[in-house]
Amino acid sequence: MLKFFSCSLNHNQAVMPFLKQEASEEEMLVAGWGHKPTADRARRYAAEHGLPYIALEDGFLRSLDLGCRGAQPLSLVVDSTGIYYDAGGPSDLETMLNGSGWETPELADSARRAMRDIVRFRLSKYNHAPDAPKGVWGETPSPRVLLIDQTTGDASVTLGGADEDTFREMLEDALAAYPPQQIRIKTHPDVIAGKKTGYLADAACGRGVKVIAADYAPLSLLAGADVVYTATSQMGFEALLLGKDVHCFGIPFYAGWGLTNDRRPCPRRTKRRSLPEVFAAAYLLYARYVNPIHGERCDIHDAIGLLAEQRARNERNRGYHACVGFRWWKRPYARAYLQSTGGETAFFRDKRRAALSAWAKGGDVVAWSSGVDETLQKLCDDAGVTLARMEDGFIRSIGLGSDFNWPYSLVVDRKGIYYDPSRPSELEDILNAMPEHPDHAALLKRAAALRDLILQHGLTKYNTGTAPVPDLPKGKTIILVPGQVEDDASVRSGGFGMGNMDLLRAVREARPDAFILYKPHPDVESGNRQGSLPDTAALGCADGILRDVSMGSLLQAVDEVHTLTSQTGFEALLRGITVFTYGGPFYAGWGLTHDRQTFPRRRARLCLDELTAGTLLLYPTYYDWQTGNFCRAEDACRRLLQPGGQMRGRIWARFITAARGFLRGMGR
C-alpha cells in the first residue's frame, strides 16, 4: 500500500504508473516528492507511524516540455535511502555504485547503446529548446570553456554542497586558467524566462565573459565546448557523455567516481567507476520509465525512441505556419499536428493573405491536400514560401474522419503528397533512400514488429465494419476490388482516368474465371462522399458485394487485391497478399506489386519491411490526443486498441454525425 504526499491530484495520477509495485504491496509505504514542503510532511508522517519512506523525483530523461506546462513524465527515480542530488547523505544510487554484483555485460551493452542514442538525438531532461546555432561560439578560440549557471537556492545546489560563493569560486578559477574571450556562461532557462535568478551573470559583469542568454538544447551547446565547469548541474554529466573535460565545484551524483575534476571530496564514494557504469546505474537501474500512451513500464530504449520522435517533430514544426482553406472541424487537427514549443499557427480564408503572411514571418503555407490548386501554388511560388500539404495518415482512427473521429496520424508533405504520382513527394524521397538509411537494421526490426502488431489485431486505416466474412467458394481465386471515392484527390491525380466501374471491367477481363468481390468505400457507403455504383452495375462484373465487413478480416480471406490507388493494396501487401495496381498508388513501382503504369522516379527495389518502415514509421506524424503530444506508429496502434482509445469529436460534432445518420435513414 502507498500513501503519497504530493502537490496535486494530477501529479499523483502522472506518477502512479511508476509505483504500481509499491502500491500493490501489503506493507504501507509513504512517498514524498523531492524536497518540497509536502515531502517534509510525508517524512514526519512516516516517522510518526514507523513506516518506510521513499523519495520521488523526476528522472534524467523526463519529457519534451517542462513539467510546469503539463508535460507527462517518461522517467522517475524512486529512492528508499535518500535522493541522488543530496550529497549530505547516501542514496540508493550511491549505494549501488559503491557496491557490486549488478554489473553485467548485457547491462554494459545496453548502457553504451543508450548513451550513443542520447548523444545522437541530443536528448536531455527537458527537450523543448532548439539546437544552438552554429555561430553561438563565434570565433572563440580553443579551448572553449562553458560555465553552467543554476538557479538561486535550488535544492540540487544547496544539497549538493554549493552556494553563491561556490559559483564565484568557479568563475574565478576559470578566469585564472583561461582568457575571458574563451569563456561562456550558460544561463538557466528559468532565469531567461524571468521566473528565477541565477548566480553567475551579475558576477561576470565587467569581466569580459559573454553570457549565453538563450535557451538551447543542452547537448547541442555542450558539443561546441572543450571544458565544462559546473556546480551540480545534470549538464555536467551530459558533457561527460560527449567526452568533455568536466570540473565539479559541488557534489553532483556523477562526481567522486574518478570521471570528473572535483573541488569537493565525497569520502563515502570509494569506488572508481567507468562512465558506462555510472550511466547504467543512474539511467538504467535507478531511474524508472513509463510509456505514457499505454501507462506501462518500459525500458530506457523505448523512452529514448519516443522522446526522440517527439523532439524531431517539435523541431520540424518550429516557425510560423499560415494555414489556409481548412474547414472549421479540421482546424484543431492542424493546430495539434503543427504545434511546437517554438511555433505559431494562424488560419486564413484568403490564399493571398496566407502567402503574404508566411512571407512576412519567414514561415510556410499549410493547406489540406485536396484544397491545393494552381492558384495557391503560384501564390506561394511568387512569394518564395514553401507550400506544405496535409492529409490523413495510413493508420488513422476507429471510424471515419467524415464522422468527426479524430486522426491519430496525418502527413505533412513539403514537396508534394504521397497519392499524387505526377510529382515528387517526401514519401518518394524516403523510400528511394531506404536501402541506405543509417538506421536501416533498426528500422527494419521496428517495421517487422509493427507489421506483426497490425496483423495480430487486424488494424487498417479506419478500422470499420463488424459483419462477418461470408462463405466463399473453394477452388477459385478470390479477388478483392476495393471501391474508392471517385472525386477523391487520390483518384483524380493517380487514377489515370479510371473509376470504380472501369476498374471492375478491367479486373473481370483480366481474370474471367476468378471470384471477384467488390467492397464500396466506407465514406461512400455512409453517404458522406461520392462514388456509389448501383448494385446491378457492379454485379455485371463482380460476383458479390460486401459492405459492413472489416477490411482486416476480409483481407485474410482473399488471394489477390486489384486496385486503382486504394490504401487497401498497401494493407494487403502487409499481409503477404498479391496486389495488382491499375493507377499510381504510393506503394507501386518498388518491386512489390504488379503494375500497369511505370514510375521512373521510383528507383529503389524494396523489401516489404523497407516499404513499411518508410511508409508507416518515417513519413507520417502520429499524435496522441489523450496526452497531447506526438508519438510513434506503435504507440498510436496501442492507443487505438485500448477500450475507448478513439477520441471523437466534441458534443456538437457528435450531434451533427447523429443527425446526419438519422436523415439518411429517413431518406432510405
**652 burial level (CB within 10 Å; 0-12, 13-18, 19+):** exposed
Provide the pLDDT for residue 530.
Answer: 55
| Per-residue pLDDT reduced to its tens digit, 282-336 | 999 999 999 999 889 999 999 999 999 999 999 999 999 999 999 988 999 999 9
What is the torsional sign of CA 306, 310, 311, 316? positive
Provide the pLDDT for residue 17.
Answer: 83
| Per-residue pLDDT reduced to its tens digit, 442-478 | 999 999 999 999 999 999 998 877 788 888 999 999 9
Q: E strands along 231-338, which residues?
A: 245-248, 261-262, 287-291, 296-298, 319-324
Non-local (6+) Cβ contacts of 514 within 8 A are 476, 477, 478, 479, 507, 560
Taking residues 338-355, what's their average pLDDT? 96
The set of cell numbers assigned to 18 is 511508476
Residue with cell 471523437: 648
Task: Quickly list DSSP for 529-581.
Answer: SS----HHHHTTT-SEE--SB-HHHHHTT-SEEEESS-THHHHHHHTT-EEEE
Provide the pLDDT for residue 665.
Answer: 47
Backbone angles phi, psi at 457, to 5 degrees: -110, 5
Taking alpha carbons only, the member of 459, 436, 420 closest to residue 601 is: 420
Taking residues 185-209, what's their average pLDDT? 87
Which residues are bridge partners to 516 per DSSP?
479
The set of cell numbers assigned to 632 is 510513434
Cα–Cα distance measured from residue 135 to residue 86, given in angstroms and rounded to the nearest whole number: 37
Cα–Cα distance measured from residue 622 to residue 411, given in angstroms and rounded to the nearest whole number: 9
**630 burial level (CB within 10 Å; 0-12, 13-18, 19+):** buried
Q: What whole-number percentage of the chain has pLDDT above 90? A: 72
- Other C-beta atoms within 10 Å of 519: how many? 22
Provide the pLDDT for residue 88.
Answer: 93
Report the predicted TM-score, pTM, of the whole model to 2 decimal places. Answer: 0.91
Taking residues 578-594, what's their average pLDDT? 97
SS3 213: coil
Provide the pLDDT for residue 94.
Answer: 98
CB 254 within 8 A of CB 25: no
Q: Give the pLDDT band of residue 20 (cuts 50, 70, 90).
A: confident
The set of cell numbers assigned to 56 is 520521488
89 residue type, one letter:
G
Provide the pLDDT for residue 34.
Answer: 79
Taking residues 110-134, what's their average pLDDT? 96
Lowest mean pLDDT among 41-50, 250-259, 320-329: 41-50
Q: What is the mean pLDDT of the chain?
A: 91
SS3 630: strand
Task: Quickly list DSSP for 498-515.
Answer: --HHHHHHHHHHH-TTSE
Q: Give the pLDDT band of residue 664 (cuts 50, 70, 90).
A: very low
476 residue type, one letter:
K
666 residue type, one letter:
M
Distance of CA 416 to the CA centre of its chain: 23
Task: Quickly list DSSP for 96-128.
Answer: HHHS-S---HHHHHHHHHHHHHHHHHT--SB--
Lowest mean pLDDT among 239-248, 437-446, 650-659: 650-659
Provide the pLDDT for residue 588.
Answer: 98
Higher pLDDT pick, 422 / 8: 422
| Per-residue pLDDT reduced to its tens digit, 241-254 | 999 999 999 999 99
CB 419 within 8 A of CB 426: no
The set of cell numbers assigned to 198 is 541565477
Taking residues 136-145, what's their average pLDDT? 90
| Per-residue pLDDT reduced to its tens digit, 613-631 | 999 999 999 999 999 999 9
Q: Which phi-psi region, left, alpha or beta, contains residue 210 (left: φ > 0; alpha: ψ -120 to 50)?
A: beta
Taking residues 514-526, what's their average pLDDT? 80
Task: Count H helices and E strands in the chain, helices first.
Answer: 27, 25
Q: Give the pLDDT band of residue 655 (cuts 50, 70, 90).
A: low
What is the torsional sign of CA 457, 458, 463, 464? negative
Provide the pLDDT for residue 525.
Answer: 63
Provide the edge-to-edge strand list for the sheet that holds 409-413. 343-348, 319-324, 364-368, 387-392, 409-413, 621-624, 629-631
